Amino acid sequence: MKTTLRLSSLFLLSALILSGCGYHNPYVYTGPEKSIYVTHWNNKTNALQLDSRIYQSLTHWFQKSSALKVSKKKAGADLILAGEIISIELPSLSYGADYSTAEVKVILTVRYILKEIKTDKVLLEVPSESWTEYSRISSSSTSTLDNEDRALKTIIDNLSEKIYIKALGQLTQLQ
């Protein structure tokens, strides 16, 4: 009983300290409600469905905030997030002692912009950003393509998370 009471008191004290010290969770936007129109990115590569995968990941991240609403239409939206997939490269593979593929490397280069629609003010612009991911091939993996796909999935999720956090930072500064 004493231990439970002590743990409860410690948790409550920690919560009070964190709430009073200016701690800010970068994954939560608490400002006024905004709607964001996320476009399908222009895909300059031959990688099929890459634009759709990025769109789905971005909308997933922006739906984490209850104060941000993802809009399927530009009309009526407060913000627009647009981007372009510049290139995807699979420059090298490393090989094991028996000349079997041991690792794949994926490099994705993109650019993106976040603007207020009403004022045309640019809140965030990244003219070129490259993401690199390596994927080691395990004995359970069936093909090099599976590993390339796993590396690309990691890149897309990390890219989307970074865009989301940067966008929240810019929106917080507007308040």
Mean pLDDT of 75-79: 96
Average pLDDT over residues 64-71: 91
The confidence score (pLDDT) of residue 174 equals 79
CATH number of 30-174: 3.40.50.10610
The pLDDT value recorded for residue 101 is: 64
* Mean pLDDT score of the chain: 84
CA-to-CA separations, 42 to 19, 72, 77, 86, in angstroms, rounded = 42, 16, 20, 8
pLDDT tens for 83-123 read 999 999 987 666 666 666 667 889 999 999 999 999 999 99
Contact 41/51 with Cβ under 8 angstroms?
yes
| Three-state secondary structure string covering the chain | CHHHHHHHHHHHHHHHHHHHCCCCCCCCCCCCCEEEEECCCEECCCCCCHHHHHHHHHHHHHCCCCCEEEECCCCCCCEEEEEEEEEEECCCEEECCCCCEEEEEEEEEEEEEEEECCCCCEEEEEEEEEEEEEEECCCCCCCHHHHHHHHHHHHHHHHHHHHHHHHHHHHHHHC
Distances (CA, A) of 99 to 94, 102, 136, 144, 150: 9, 9, 14, 14, 22
**Where do the structural domains in the chain lie, given as residue ranges?**
30-174
Q: What is the pLDDT of residue 73?
A: 95
* Percent of the chain surpassing pLDDT 70: 74
Give the pLDDT confidence score for residue 93 in this predicted structure. Answer: 67
What global pTM score does this model have? 0.78
